[in-house]
């Protein structure tokens, strides 16, 4: 990789981290504001002509905002995962490329799944009282929505098993072969006791013959 490509990759990495951090800090700030709002007097009162409280409405709004931020940030988290895992050791290593790509996909769908759960928990305070006897429809709707990221998550994990197992096997087998070669070299370079004795005996006979 050239120095120019390295500089571009570093800048991309920094920009991605900065934008992702900004989104996370914004989400935490929104949650903090909600915590303060729920402490205000009267927020536990019912909204006029509605069976929900002001606190439940505020929670639903914040939940939608946080879920939207997570959905927007999901591709950025996937990109950060790929950058963190780095490039494969050798160019054109398709197996390592697949592992890195699938790891990014797993993170992406995990964040999407988290966004669905945040929306489900946050909207429950408004949806359940409004639906009343049909609250099961709320659970069923979010169940079907949550199944989408779960299916993609399972698919990503499934296609990652084979290349990851092959990579682990190659690493373990490579280390074992390296240890065996090192042991063979050590054995070949170390003289045996019999050879030393034979050399010593030959020197002694030469000395006797000279006398």
pTM: 0.72
In whole angstroms, give the CA distance from residue 111 to residue 69: 10
Give the closest residue to 52 by CA, choosing from 125, 158, 138, 109: 125
Instruction: Report whether pLDDT(107) > 60.
Output: yes
Hey, where are the domains in the chain?
3-190
In whole angstroms, give the CA distance from residue 132 to residue 207: 111
Q: Which residue has the tokens 């049909």?
A: 134
How confident is the model at residue 98, as a pLDDT? 82
How confident is the model at residue 197, as a pLDDT? 53
Q: Are 66 and 27 in contact (CB under 8 A)?
A: yes
pLDDT, average across residues 188-208: 52
pLDDT, average across residues 40-59: 87
Which of 119-123, 127-131, 167-171 comes out lowest in average pLDDT?
Answer: 167-171
In whole angstroms, give the CA distance from residue 154 to residue 105: 10
pLDDT confidence band for 84 (50 / 70 / 90): confident
In whole angstroms, give the CA distance from residue 174 to residue 2: 30
Supply 55's token pair: 């606190």
Instruction: Report whether pLDDT(65) > 90.
Output: yes
How confident is the model at residue 149, as a pLDDT? 95
Give the closest residue to 146 by CA, choosing from 120, 165, 126: 120
How confident is the model at residue 114, as a pLDDT? 94
What is the widest separation between alpha-carbon atoms in the chain?
A: 126
């Amino acid at each position: 990789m050239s120095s120019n490509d390295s500089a571009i990759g570093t800048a991309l990495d920094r920009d991605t981290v900065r934008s992702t951090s900004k989104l996370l800090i914004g989400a935490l700030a929104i949650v903090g504001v909600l915590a303060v709002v729920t402490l205000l007097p009267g927020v536990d009162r019912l909204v006029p002509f509605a069976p929900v409280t002001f606190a439940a409405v505020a929670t639903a709004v914040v939940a939608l905002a946080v879920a939207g931020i997570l959905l927007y940030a999901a591709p950025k988290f996937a990109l950060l995962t790929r950058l963190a895992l780095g490039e494969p050791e050798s160019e054109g290593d398709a197996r390592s490329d697949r592992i890195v790509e699938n790891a990014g996909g797993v993170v992406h769908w995990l964040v999407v799944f988290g966004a669905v759960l945040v929306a489900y928990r946050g909207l429950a305070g408004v949806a359940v009282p409004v639906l009343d006897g049909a609250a099961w429809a709320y659970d069923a709707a979010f169940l079907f929505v949550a199944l989408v990221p779960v299916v993609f998550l399972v698919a990503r994990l499934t296609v990652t098993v084979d290349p990851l197992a092959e990579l682990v096997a190659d690493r373990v087998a490579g280390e074992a072969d390296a240890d065996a070669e090192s042991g063979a070299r050590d054995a070949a370079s170390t003289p045996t006791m019999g050879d030393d004795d034979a050399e010593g005996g030959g020197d002694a006979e030469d000395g006797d013959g000279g006398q």
